[in-house]
Structure formats: structure tokens, C-alpha cells
Amino acid sequence: MIPINMLNLSNFKILNLQESENDYRFLVETKSPSPYYCPKCGTIANLYKHGKKNQLFFDLPMHAKRVGIYVKRQRNKCRECSGTFFENLPDMDVNRSVTNRLMDWIKEASLEKTFTSVAEEVGVDEKTVRNIFNDYVSELEAQTEFRTPKWLGLDEVHLLKNYRFVVTDVENKSVIDILRKRNKDVVISYLSKLKDIDKVELVAMDMWNPYKGAVNSVIPHAKIVIDNFHVVRLANEVLEKIRKANRQNVSAKEYWQLMRYRYVLLKRREDLNDFNDQIKLQVRIDMFSLLGQAYELKEQFFDI
């Protein structure tokens, strides 16, 4: 016997249940009466039943199994306009063929999981998950009041083998937007559409020249600040070039030492907590004078 409240959907009566290894399939019908007016012409109480159709809707998983609900949905016809229409299903999203509660679950799950994994978990098509999430993002954007920050950050992140343009609110440590491309035209177009752009006082960025050119074009009054991480990284890159150059015309033993102890050269002196690492660093500096000079300059540069 099927428990009456197994689905916990009060508007439906369960007629049948089929269970397989991975799925539940319910056949249900509504408990609500037929509509008393035609949604097409507005005529009241001049309708008659015009057959039924089983429509599949997906629901939240149950007992680690996917759930499908076949609704034995009533079709009605209007005597006045001859229009036909199905009965209303308040628990369902008829456009996505999912229950409203599954729709809500997909919105939240898609924030942490891939669209494909969410789709496989509940049994719907990946495109459906993607569309539900895109609609959700649009809803959130409509509810969010965007304020152009005083400290704007322009950066990038490497995703799917390409650099993506990232816009941040530096003062509040939050991401504002991510765009597919980071060329100058894209950055100019984006900045030009920001509201109250005159409120931007500082723009933090790396040394990617299109960012600088775009800011100078659109926000010439803003001060450009180079993120210190990108500046000091250049010092390490130069140190690496000198280390590699020193590998030429050295003995096999010295070559091996330059290869093996690369990490102590790239570390800050203050971070070399291990006494052995401190000894290794000093030996390398004593053996290769140019490398030693480069290391000291790198440390002085970092101290700034």
C-alpha cells in the first residue's frame, strides 16, 4: 500500500508507484476541482472536460533515488471560444517540467556543483539545469542594488584555458563581475556602462597594459595602483633568469645544486625557519657571487 503523504504534495492523490534500482515513478492526479472560467476568453462556468494527458515532472530525490511524477492532467474545453487548456498545477513549473521545490533546490545546488552533476542527480537534462540557474541569476541581479565602488579592482583568472576579466570591489573584498575577455575594448565598454563612474577614486590592477589604457580613457581622474604581488613577482622572475644563466659552464655537481636548491632562493630570508635551509642559501650565495647579489637586491626590493 502506498502511503498517502509519501510525496508530501497535498494537492495530489497517488494512483500508482513503480520503483526501480535508481528511480521512483509516481502516477498522480490532482485533488482540486476543475477551473470555473476559461483563461482564454474569461467565460465563467461554460466548460467541459476534454480528455486527460499524462505529463512527467521531476521532483526532489527520495531515498537516494530520482523521482519522476506523472500527472494525469485534465484538459478542458470552453464552449464559448472552443479554446482548450490544461488544469492548473500550483506545485509544478510547467515550463521546466519540474516541481517548484526541485526548482529551488537546483538553484542552490548549482552554486556549488556543476550543471552536469546536478542534472544526473535529479534526472533532468543539463540544459534545463543551466536555464533554471540563468533565470535565478537574473532574479538575483534584479534584486541587487549595484553601487560602483570607490576602490575598483581589475584582474583576471585563468578558466577553461583562457584568461577571464575579473572586476572586484577592493574595499569590500568582493567580486563584482567576470567577463569572457580582457582586451582593451571589452574593458572600456564595461567601465563606460558603470553608474556613477566618477565615484571611483582608486583602481588596483596588475601590469596588463589594456587595463591601464582603458582606465585612462574612461576614468582619467582615478589613481592607478599596481598590486604589489605582481610587482614583487617580477623580482623573482629576474632572479630565476640569473639562476638559470649560472647553470652554464658549471660542473655537474654545481648544476645539480642550482637545480635542487631553487626553492631557498625564491623564499624570503625571514621565511627560512629551517636552519639547514639558511645554510643552503648562504652556500649558494657564496658559490655564485652574481646570484648572491641578485638575491640581496630581490630582498631589498621586497622590503620596499
Q: In terms of residues, how long is the chain? A: 304
CA–CA dist 110, 93 (Å, integer): 18
Beta pairing partners, 75: 86
- Give residue-wise pLDDT tens across range 259-292: 666 667 777 777 777 777 777 777 667 777 787 8
CA–CA dist 211, 208 (Å, integer): 6
Encode 253-269: b = buried (16+ Cβ within 10 Å), e = exposed.
eeeebbeeeeebbeeee
| Residue 185 C-beta-side C-alpha neighbours within 13 Å | 0
- Give residue-wise pLDDT tens across range 23-57: 999 999 998 776 778 888 888 878 888 899 999 99
Contact between 149 and 200 (Cβ < 8 Å): yes
Angle at which helix 252-260 crosses helix 275-287, to 10 degrees, equals 140
| Residue 13 C-beta-side C-alpha neighbours within 13 Å | 7
Range with the largest mean pLDDT of 84-88, 126-130, 279-283? 126-130
pLDDT classification of 134: cutoffs 50, 70, 90? very high
- Give residue-wise pLDDT tens across range 147-180: 899 999 999 999 888 999 999 999 999 999 999 9
Amino acid at 170: V
Model confidence, pTM: 0.61
| C-alpha distances in Å from residue 267, one per residue of 228, 233, 235, 282 | 16, 12, 12, 13
Amino acid at 76: N
* ∠ Cα 118 119 121 (to 5°): 65
